[in-house]
Amino acid sequence: MKNPMCVLLLAFLLWNALGHAQSAVSLSDAVERAQKNYPAVQVSQAQVDAAVAGIRFARTSYLPRFDSLAQVNRATRNNIYGMLLQQSVISPISGPPVIENTSASVFGSAVGLLVDWEPFDFGLRHSRVEFAESTQRRAEVSVARTQFEAGTAAADSYLTVLAAQETVKAARASVERGDVLLKAVEALVQAQLRPGADATVARAELAGAQAQVVRSEQAVAEAKALLAGLMGEQGGRVSIAEGRLLDLPGDVPLPETSMAQNPLAREQNAAVEEARARARTLDNFWAPRFSLQATSYARGTGVRPDSTGLGGANGLAPTFYNWGLGFTVRFPILDFAPARAQQAEESARIRAEEGRYRLVLTELDIRRNRALAAVDAARKLAALAPMQLDAARAAETQAQARYRAGLATLVEVADAQRVLAQAEIDNGLARLNVWRGLLALRVAEGDLAPLLQMAGP
């Protein structure tokens, strides 16, 4: 029984290890998975599908209208002279008026067909199709913008995970130094070469360093949870491949890209085109509507022309038919004022969307310039970080030597170790800050590909 249990345990551990290994992702993988799996992308894709269906619906307006009707009823036949204005409550009745009212009823029936087709419409239907197509184009660039934002968020979360992990490394190194210091101080206290208060201070410093490790590990877990949510995976199984992200990136040429190619700008430009297409649908709204019509119908009744009933099942089947061909022109004379008002409203919307487009370009240009400044500053700080780290290490070593010689207090040693811990954190984050600045630059330019290529697999 022992061997099978060992085999099962080994298989479980191997499977678990393989599962964790398989979940390690590079920056490119994280961006790709976020662009594919983030729910907001799926919502935008569904909007594209709806827009495509809207185009198909708009194109159906070119087809002729074909209506059919079949009806059987039993009703009274009391008809009178006089006009009845159009309404939807009182049913119309045909035939000569009757002299006196009666409650007798007869059967009636009717079947009919009507074909109605507009041979030309001054471009109204074409403009509506164009408007539907502009809606589809806007939905498509909205998908691209959503994917870009999801990939950007994944890249930022990826760098945040790396930064948190670097902080954990520095915090654990600080714990190790604190532990070594505590043992040395306790030895000096036991030898009565230092006061007992020094041991208390050393324990407090060690506890503070351990607390920093806990907070740093919490930051790693939170950053991984966010990254996993963006990629659509379980947070506990996400691990990342550092690639070249812990190295200082080399100088790269910065092409003069147009901010108009940014997904945000493209989406807003599509909104402008959609507003213009909507306005074009109103250009021919106040125009005559022409219809070719063809109809054929038959009716049956259970009453004679002298208003006497035929009785039995007479009227259940149509007995008289008619057909007709016609050309109808409808002109909404009083719709001119509403059409002009709608055109003025759409013109205002176009100006508003154009203003938003210019605003988007301005904001993107500002973000790009700020990102360039951030990259330049981050490179300079990354060059200074190693020197600061070396100085902090030397200061910490000297403080410990002076403490052992009785020339310094333990508080001075603790301060030197805290400065060293911060210098290690700053040194670990300095290079990542350059990458973060490059990410901000590529986000402003609207293209993550150069950054992903620099980061490597």
Q: Considering the domain boundaries, does residue 438 fall inside one?
A: yes
State residue 18's pLDDT score. 43
Task: Tell me the two tokens of residue 117.
Answer: 């087709």
91 by Cβ neighbours in 10 Å (0-12 / 13-18 / 19+) ranks as exposed
CB 302 within 8 Å of CB 311? yes
CA torsion through residues 67, 323, 89, 105, sign? negative
State residue 236's pLDDT score. 59
- Residue 391 binned pLDDT confidence (cut-offs 50, 70, 90): very high
Helix or strand (DSSP H, E) at 320: strand 320-330
Query: Rounded to 5 degrees, what are φ and ψ at 313?
Result: -95, 10
Task: Tell me the two tokens of residue 195.
Answer: 């006061």
Say how far apart CA 338 and CA 323 lie, in whole Å. 37
CB 145 within 8 Å of CB 48? no
Q: Considering the domain boundaries, does residue 10 fall inside one?
A: no
Among residues 454, 252, 259, which one has the least CA distance to residue 369?
Answer: 259
> DSSP assignment, residue 297?
E
Which residues does 76 contact at the CB level (< 8 Å), separation at least 6? 102, 103, 104, 105
State residue 98's pLDDT score. 80
Q: Considering the domain boundaries, does residue 314 fall inside one?
A: no
Q: Considering the domain boundaries, does residue 11 fall inside one?
A: no
Average pLDDT over residues 89-94: 84
Task: Tell me the two tokens of residue 98.
Answer: 């009757």
Owner of token pair 């409550």: 89
State residue 4's pLDDT score. 52
Across the strands, what pairs with 109? Answer: 72, 300
Q: What is the pLDDT of residues 336-347, one digit of tens each?
A: 788 888 888 888
> DSSP assignment, residue 309?
B
Amino acid at position 118, single letter: E
Three-class DSSP category at 308: coil
Edge-to-edge, what's the strand order for the sheet holding 65-76? 65-76, 105-117, 289-301, 320-330
Torsion of CA 253, 256, 257, 258, to 10 degrees: 170
Statement: residue 235 has pLDDT above 60: no
Three-class DSSP category at 187: helix
The domain that holds 231 is classified in CATH as 1.20.1600.10
Q: Considering the domain boundaries, does residue 421 fall inside one?
A: yes
Q: What is the pLDDT of residues 401-457, one digit of tens each?
A: 888 878 888 888 888 888 988 898 888 888 889 999 999 988 988 888 888 888 876
Domain count, the chain: 1
Q: What is the pLDDT of residues 7-18, one digit of tens each?
A: 444 544 444 444
Say how far apart CA 286 and CA 339 lie, in whole Å. 7
Question: Which spans in 38-123 are helix H?
Answer: 39-59
Amino acid at position 350, single letter: I
Torsion of CA 209, 224, 383, 424, to 10 degrees: 10
Q: Diameter of the chain by CA atoms? A: 135
- Residue 255 binned pLDDT confidence (cut-offs 50, 70, 90): low
Statement: residue 21 has pLDDT above 60: no
Average pLDDT over residues 274-283: 86
Domain that holds residue 445: 24-63+120-288+331-455
Say how far apart CA 397 and CA 125 lie, in whole Å. 83
Q: Considering the domain boundaries, does residue 225 fall inside one?
A: yes
Q: Considering the domain boundaries, does residue 360 fall inside one?
A: yes
Helix or strand (DSSP H, E) at 300: strand 289-301
Q: Considering the domain boundaries, does residue 319 fall inside one?
A: no
CB 371 within 8 Å of CB 365? no
